[in-house]
């Protein structure tokens, strides 16, 4: 009986010990780790003005509180945040996730760009009423919005006979034959800057370029007075006399290269740097233009002469002649055919044979020339006013103004590198003269 009693007591003690141990271990606190973020999380993001951007960082671990801070002020207390800005610029947003183990911080750097930063701008020479000019916008999905310049500037129009736009830094310099001759707008918002330059004595201004945002040159004048005129952007003036040695300069955009302006002047190719003009080459025939292709190559086009074929001339980075290729005898390569390229991303050079409206392509690698497109014969075009290569895609954008009449809306024809017409977009403006691609 005594032995049985002792066994019962021992068993009781055993169960009490088990219960005690279970209580001790059951009360042991679970370890809590601080919230963590993936090592490869992207905190440098891009947004557009007036377009919401949801920030929802991936996290490991549970947080009890969240904070989003901008300039030290709490702007949100959820695990995600809807970021929206009305003005472009660089912003910083800090996210904090807190639990009992502490606070983990993540900092976003957000670049907000203007609503026109990623699309294509089409500069019209006039409008439906013939009382000014405007700009149309083609967004990334190729949705067209007309008259965005006047929309962004409280109804203000560009002057009649707008010709071109030149991008330097974050601004577009829009040149018109009428006054004001040069106006400056933000290239992402199209808002007018406080720079408007006129000289009524310099007629038919068409193409402007700058290498420093302080000074530049504009092609202007008529007859014997056509040439390059110096522009002072700080003083907001255009010189009244043309730069010596530029009389009869080609009515095409200037190329800027190593802080110099390169342009054809009849049979000469000239360079202007620090106000000094230097003749680089002189040929028996007119020089049609100069462009960049891939592999840092520079090519110069020479128009057909009375006894010589049109030519393509390859230059090195020091603008020294490396190679000359004769084109077929039936090609003219005229100056007003406006020699163009994709600005260095591929090997192709394009121009229009203005007598036939055919667009030809020269391959700088194979040295072969081919008919690229015949818009008037094959695609219903009537009168071409501009052709540009999209530097992102290599596609050729051609403007069909249909006729010389200013009252007809222009169409946009988009040709792929494969020479096929990919898309036609109607009514993109009136007598569109320039196509500006995103940076």
- Asked if 261 contacts 273 with a C-beta cutoff of 8 angstroms, the reply is yes
Tokens of 431: 């007598």
Q: Which sequence spans correspond to the domains of the chain?
A: 44-113, 159-282
**What's the pLDDT at 421?**
98
User: 238 with 228: CB under 8 angstroms?
Assistant: no
Q: What is the pTM of this model?
A: 0.89
- What does 88-143 look like in DSSP terms, one character per residue? -EEEEEEEEEEETTEEEEEEEEEEEE-TTSSSEEEEESS-TTSS-B-EEEE-TT--
Residue 338 DSSP label: -
Is 44-113 assigned to CATH 2.30.30.40? no
pLDDT tens-digit series, residues 56-82: 999 999 999 999 999 999 999 999 999
* C-alpha 172, offset from chain centre: 11
Report the CATH architecture of 159-282: 7 Propeller (2.130)
Indicate the SS3 state at residue 31.
coil
**Mean pLDDT, the chain cut into blocks of 10 residues (439 residues total):** 47 54 51 91 96 96 96 96 96 97 97 96 95 97 97 96 97 97 97 94 96 97 93 96 95 95 96 96 95 92 95 94 96 92 92 94 97 97 95 96 88 98 98 96
Do the Cβ atoms of 261 and 254 come closer than 8 Å? yes
pLDDT of residue 107: 97
Contact 262, 252 (CB under 8 A): no
pLDDT of residue 3: 46
């Amino acid at each position: 009986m005594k032995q049985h009693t002792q066994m019962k007591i021992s068993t009781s003690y055993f169960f009490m010990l088990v219960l005690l141990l279970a209580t001790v271990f059951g009360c042991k606190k679970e370890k809590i780790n601080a919230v963590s973020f993936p090592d490869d999380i992207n905190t440098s993001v891009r947004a557009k003005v007036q377009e919401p951007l949801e920030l929802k960082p991936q996290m490991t671990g549970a947080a009890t509180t969240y904070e989003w801070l901008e300039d030290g002020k709490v702007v949100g207390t959820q695990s995600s945040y809807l970021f929206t800005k009305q003005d472009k610029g660089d912003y910083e947003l800090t996210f904090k996730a807190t639990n009992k183990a502490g606070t983990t911080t993540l900092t976003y750097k957000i670049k907000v760009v203007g609503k026109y930063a990623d699309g294509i701008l089409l500069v019209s020479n006039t409008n439906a009423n013939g009382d000014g000019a405007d700009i149309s916008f083609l967004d990334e999905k190729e949705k067209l919005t007309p008259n965005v310049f006047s929309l962004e500037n409280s109804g203000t129009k560009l002057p009649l006979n707008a010709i071109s736009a030149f991008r330097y830094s974050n601004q577009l310099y829009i040149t018109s034959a009428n006054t004001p001759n040069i106006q400056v707008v933000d290239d992402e918002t199209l808002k007018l800057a406080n720079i408007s330059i006129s000289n009524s004595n310099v007629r038919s201004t068409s193409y402007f370029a700058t290498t420093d945002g302080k000074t530049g040159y504009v092609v202007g004048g008529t007859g014997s007075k056509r040439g390059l005129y110096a522009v002072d952007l700080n003083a907001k003036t255009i010189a009244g006399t043309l730069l010596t040695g530029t009389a009869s300069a080609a009515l095409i955009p200037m190329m800027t290269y190593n802080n110099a302006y390169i342009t054809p002047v009849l049979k000469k190719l000239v360079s202007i740097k620090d106000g000094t003009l230097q003749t680089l080459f002189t040929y028996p025939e007119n020089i049609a233009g100069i462009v960049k292709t891939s592999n840092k190559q520079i090519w110069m086009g020479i128009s057909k002469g009375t006894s010589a074929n049109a030519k393509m001339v390859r230059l090195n980075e020091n603008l020294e002649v490396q190679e000359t290729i004769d084109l077929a005898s039936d090609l003219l390569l005229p100056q007003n055919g406006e020699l163009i390229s994709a600005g260095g991303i591929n090997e192709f050079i394009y121009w229009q044979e203005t007598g036939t409206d055919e667009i030809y392509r020269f391959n700088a690698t194979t040295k072969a020339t081919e008919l690229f497109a015949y818009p008037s014969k094959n695609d219903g075009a009537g009168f071409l006013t501009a052709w540009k290569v999209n530097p992102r895609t290599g596609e050729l954008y051609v403007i069909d103004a249909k006729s010389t009449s200013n009252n007809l809306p222009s169409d946009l024809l988009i040709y792929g590198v494969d020479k096929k017409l990919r898309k036609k977009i109607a009514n993109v403006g009136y007598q569109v003269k320039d196509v500006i691609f995103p940076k």
